[in-house]
Amino acid sequence: MGLLEGKKGLILGVANEFSIAWAIARKLHAEGAKLGFTHLPGDKMERRVRKLADPISAPLITPCDVQNDDDVARVFSEASQALGPLDFVLHSIAFGPREDIQKPFVEASREGFKLAMDVSVYSLAIVARHAANAMPNGGSIATLTYFGGERVVPGYNMMGVCKAALDASVKYLAFDLGPRKIRVNGLSAGPVKTLAASAVGDADKLAGLYEMASPMDRNIDRDEVGSAGLFLLSDLSSGITGEIMHVDCGYNVMGSPGRAIEKVKALFMKKAESLDPALAARLRDDDEIKRL
């Protein structure tokens, strides 16, 4: 018998098999949970989600426009009919115009910022409002965030500001819904290759930085994020709410580049050795190089 046998939940935000939301959904399903799914409006997005959800016999696959309050209400009405009372909801939704994300925040357009905040932040509030009504026995809501909302991550730009607002929303929603026995938490994952991450110009560089600088000397993988999502959405985390859980091999605790400096130095010297052994020998004795 699985950990979530008899539990039911709604997953918002699966785009394809590489989505973090799908990594979490797989873990939930493996533990016996019955899942419903939403997708972006449009036949193409429906086909992508059905390809994943049909094989696990999902009783609900429906479009959802989180910018439309009536549509969100419809989704939760359908979820209640198809699944019964919900035990958990996963919110994995974020969007901003690519042209605004890929420029410095100071140059982002007003309209682009409003759209990004509406889809990436307010959507959690409207989803939580309807989720609460669909969880008469209490439950868990989790959203996906990123460290760029806590510290400046070059290249993350406007989305970092949105994630900061999302993190604050988690805390206020946790307070609002606590008396109804509903927990609200955020899951902050390290860099993972997803459709959303492709809009961030330095995504590959970020993954390499995590491998260099994190205490565990590596980056995370999807399965690790999936397991953390399972934890937050299950009763195993029954005493946790209003938290941002980092799944990043400890990268968020670092106050300096740590061992990354020595790793970069070693790579530099190896390259120099392959190009010019004499130059490499001189560099090893150079005071500036030694200080690195």
The answer to whether residues 41 and 135 belong to one domain is: yes
Q: In the chain, what percentage of residues exceed pLDDT 90?
A: 78
Question: Of 168, 282, 259, 194, nearest to 14 (Cα)?
Answer: 194
Phi/psi of residue 199, nearest 5 degrees: -80, -15
This prediction's pTM: 0.88
R_g of the chain, CA atoms, integer Å: 21
Q: How many domains does the chain have?
A: 2
pLDDT tops 90 at residue 240:
yes
Give me the catalytic one of 122, 156, 210, 251. 156
| Domain shared by 14 and 114, yes or no | yes
Pairing assessment for the beta strands 182-189 and 244-247 based on DSSP bridges: parallel
Residue 35 tokens read as 């899942």
Instruction: Give yes or no: residues 142 and 285 share one domain.
Output: no
Q: Which one from 146, 172, 210, 251 is the annotated catalytic residue? A: 146
* Same domain assignment for residues 239 and 271: no
pLDDT in tens, 246-258: 999 999 999 888 7
- The predicted model gives 228-255 an average pLDDT of 97
Token pair for 105: 């925040």
pLDDT of residue 188: 98
Q: Considering the domain boundaries, does residue 188 fall inside one?
A: yes
In angstroms, the CA 12 to CA 121 distance is 14
Same domain, 155 and 132: yes
Which pLDDT value is given to residue 211? Answer: 86
| Domain co-membership, 80 together with 189 | yes
Examine the residue annotation and report whether 251 is marked as an active-site residue of this protein. no
pLDDT in tens, 259-269: 766 766 666 55
276 vs 244, which has greater pLDDT?
244
Looking at per-residue pLDDT, the higher value among 208 and 104 belongs to 104
Residues 277 and 186 in one domain: no
pLDDT in tens, 151-174: 999 999 999 999 999 999 999 999
Res 258: pLDDT? 77
Residues in CB range of 243: below 8 A, 6 or more apart: 170, 185, 186
Distance CA 245, CA 257 (A): 22
135 and 223 co-located in one domain: yes
Task: Examine residue 221 and state whether it is found in any structural domain, yes or no.
Answer: yes
pLDDT above 80: residue 81: yes
Provide the domain limits for residue 274. 260-291
CATH number of 88's domain: 3.40.50.720
Q: Does 288 have pLDDT greater than 50?
A: no
> What's the chain's average pLDDT?
90
205-221 residue pLDDT tens: 667 778 888 999 999 99
Residue 1 lies in a domain: no
In a domain, 14, yes or no: yes
- Residue identified by tokens 């609002």 is 176
Confidence (pLDDT) at 201: 53
Q: Are residues 268 and 245 in the same domain?
A: no
3 is a domain residue: no
**What local confidence, expressed as pLDDT, does residue 171 receive?**
98
Measured N-to-C along each axis, helices 158-177 and 110-117 cross at an angle, to the nearest 10 degrees, of 30
Same domain, residue pair 160 and 271 = no
Instruction: Mark whether 126 and 228 lie in a shared domain.
Output: yes
Is the residue at 2 inside a domain? no
Same domain, 179 and 218: yes
In the annotation, is 122 catalytic?
no
